[in-house]
Structure 1
């Protein structure tokens, strides 16, 4: 009997646009070194109704409250971490605390060299705390989804996202 292979976290890459909303050209930076937690929580929202002819309720998915909790060491040479720190440090809000975040599935190649299936989320960066981890400074919070995700492909060399491009086999 063959063992079932569980997908590894390293088969997924995350990128943050550090140019933010003000720039016309995004500048995506890899979110790797320094991040000790970067989990995706779709946060399905449900409704429930029980009809008179049923003893059990009928439930449905009505939407999502998507978020990605993060925990990172404050490594300022890592551009994505510095960008997040600055949101909390300068208490940015509204559009100044929003940017784009991309999740790339490195195990799902797309047409073109170094292109992979990806999802782009517009996010609000919630910096919850600057932590002290035995004398080393950390940062934790959430990337909060703003609107619906966009499906496409991401080129890991050029760091560009193409919306709606179909994934190759």
Structure 2
């Protein structure tokens, strides 16, 4: 039994467009990031009960990303490009891959899940005399695709 360091839970974002896109590690300029699962629940109290029931109906995961602007970092350059053109709908879509580096790898590939995502630009700027910051949200779209991800080759393989 042991603690799991944050560096053992990696997030890769598909940067670029179409077949020219590649997986880029989210990390440079980011000091904290979590996946909020945002459970969608329903509450009911049946007429023969005194206490209610809460059921989880679905999830709407998101990740809020506060990022110091680092020109040349592929994630910043990609997200900043979306900001500049105020991308919406399909233009704001990409893919995100959550990689569990704390689990056992097989052939260099770790358990992972891939999701379609929509990138939401929240704000851009900062305090005088400081670095620019871009805050954006990764909105997970649909169900995850389980598989493995090899950080060295940056290849995702869907489970059979």
Q: Distance in 1 between matches of 2:20 and 2:133?
A: 29
Number of equivalenced pairs: 159
- Structure 2 unaligned blocks of 5 or more: none
What's the TM-score, normalizing by structure 2? 0.93
2:9 matched residue in structure 1: 12
Q: How far apart are 1:37 and its partner, in Å?
A: 2.6
SS in 2 for 1:38: coil
In structure 2, do the counterparts of structure 1 residues 38 and 75 end up closer, same or farther at CA, with 3 Å as the change threshold? same
C-alpha RMSD of the superposition:
1.5
Q: Distance in 2 between matches of 1:95 and 1:7?
A: 36
2:122 matched residue in structure 1: 128
What's the TM-score, normalizing by structure 1? 0.88
Encode CA deviations 1:99-133: one digit per residue, 9 max, x unaligned. Answer: 00111110112321x21011111111001100314
- Structure 1 unaligned blocks of 5 or more: none
Match of 1:143 among 127, 131, 138: 138
Q: Distance in 2 between matches of 1:37 and 1:71?
A: 7
Match of 1:98 among 87, 93, 98: 93
SS in 2 for 1:54: coil
Q: How far apart are 1:25 and its partner, in Å?
A: 5.9
Q: Distance in 2 between matches of 1:19 and 1:82?
A: 9
SS in 1 for 2:19: coil
1:162 aligns with 2:157: yes
SS in 2 for 1:157: coil
